[in-house]
Amino acid sequence: MGKMHVTSRINGELREFLCEPNQTLLDVLRDELGLTGTKEGCGSGDCGACSVVVNDRLVCSCLVLGVEAQNAEIETIEGVAGEELHPIQQKFLEHAALQCGICTPGFIVATKALLAKNPDPDEETIRYWLAGNLCRCTGYDKIIRAVQDAAKTLAHPA
């Protein structure tokens, strides 16, 4: 069959790309579109480093085919900040919720999806929602604090 032509809206912008039928959305984002903010960790859906939002659902882009993105709305880490950092990103910095940083884009995309659905999650809800995002540096506590603080900031902007 060879490469297929796909059109999708990525971070609000119409994008076209060619991809192999078995190429993952993760590889398309990184290798075809140069959106390298989305990271590859395990490649098998366990670590969440490649988290993106497709048609309002948080998914692992390593377990989505690029061809499935036809006509889809996709949000990646590159779409999170505007002129300034998003409050979630700002709070991750302030709470030192990252060290090596490989997992951070996935955590931020997942957190944004959580707070869009539930602006005031309790700690247990946050921990379960983020259970599919692995971090080998922080021990998670700082991430949870950052998410709680970001939720507060988003609910009551300064």
Partner 1 sequence: MGAYAYLAPQSVQEALSVLDDHLKRGERAQILSGGTDLLVQMRSVDKTPRLILDIKQLAEANRLEVTDQSIYIGAAVPSALMTENVDLQALLPGLMEAADLIGSTQIQGRATICGNLCNASPAGDSIPAMIAAGAQCEIASESGTRLLAVEDFVVGVGKNALLPGEFVLGLTIPRPAARQKDAYLRFIPRTEMDIAVAGCGVSVSVDAAGQCTAARVAIGAVAPTPRLVPEAAAALVGTTLDEAALAAAGAACTAASSPITDKRGTVEYRRKVIAVLCRRAVAIAKQRAIGA
Ligand X SMILES: Cc1cc2nc3c(=O)[nH]c(=O)nc-3n(C[C@H](O)[C@H](O)[C@H](O)COP(=O)(O)OP(=O)(O)OC[C@H]3O[C@@H](n4cnc5c(N)ncnc54)[C@H](O)[C@@H]3O)c2cc1C
Q: How many CB atoms lie within 10 A of CB 123?
A: 11
Q: Which of partner 1, ligand X, none has residue 89 at its interface (CB below 5 to 8 Å by kind)?
A: none
What is the closest distance, in whole angstroms, from the C-beta atom of residue 88 to partner 1 in the complex? 16
Q: Which of partner 1, ligand X, none has residue 67 at its interface (CB below 5 to 8 Å by kind)?
A: partner 1
Residues 25-84 that bind ligand X (CB under 6 A): 44-46
What is the closest distance, in whole angstroms, from the C-beta atom of residue 137 to partner 1 in the complex? 19
What is the closest distance, in whole angstroms, from the C-beta atom of residue 67 to ligand X in the complex? 14
Task: Indicate which single residue of 44, 82, 84, 157 sits in contact with partner 1 (rule: CB under 8 A).
Answer: 44
Question: In sequence order, which residues have a C-beta less than 8 Å from that of residue 51 and are 6 or more positions away?
Answer: 38, 58, 59, 60, 61, 105, 106, 107, 109, 110, 113, 132, 133
Q: Which residues bind partner 1 (CB under 8 A)?
A: 1-2, 4, 20-22, 24, 43-46, 48, 51, 54, 57-60, 62-65, 67-68, 70, 110, 113-114, 128-133
